[in-house]
Amino acid sequence: MFKKTLLILFLWGSLAFCEDKNIISSVVENKPKMTFLDSVVEFNKMGGIFIYSLYLLSIISLAYILERFFFYNFSKKII
């Protein structure tokens, strides 16, 4: 909701200072649809090689959190 409001305010403000009103409508209509997969691929391209180290650290931390969760759950039941 907030993003739509900002977009409407931005377009309305740009129309006030635009000489050719058809430019804004043609830009909005010709905007290509970006899917979730496209945005993930674009994010990986922007991150370069550093994004893979972040992925690795995320997997390691998730594995550690799950290991601690199961360890403390089963240690309470044994005692």
Q: Hey, where are the domains in the chain?
A: 1-31, 33-79
Task: Name the 3-class secondary structure at 31.
Answer: coil
Are residues 11 and 28 in contact, defined by beta-carbon separation less than 8 angstroms? yes
| pLDDT over 90 at 76, yes or no | no
The residue-averaged pLDDT of 4-18 equals 65
pLDDT digits over 20-75, tens only?
A: 555 555 555 666 777 888 888 888 888 888 999 999 999 999 999 999 998 888 87
- What pLDDT shows up at residue 35? 84
* Angle between the N-to-C axes of helices 21-29 and 2-17, in degrees from 0 to 180, rounded to the nearest 10: 150
- What pLDDT shows up at residue 31? 64
* Angle between the N-to-C axes of helices 50-78 and 36-47, in degrees from 0 to 180, rounded to the nearest 10: 110
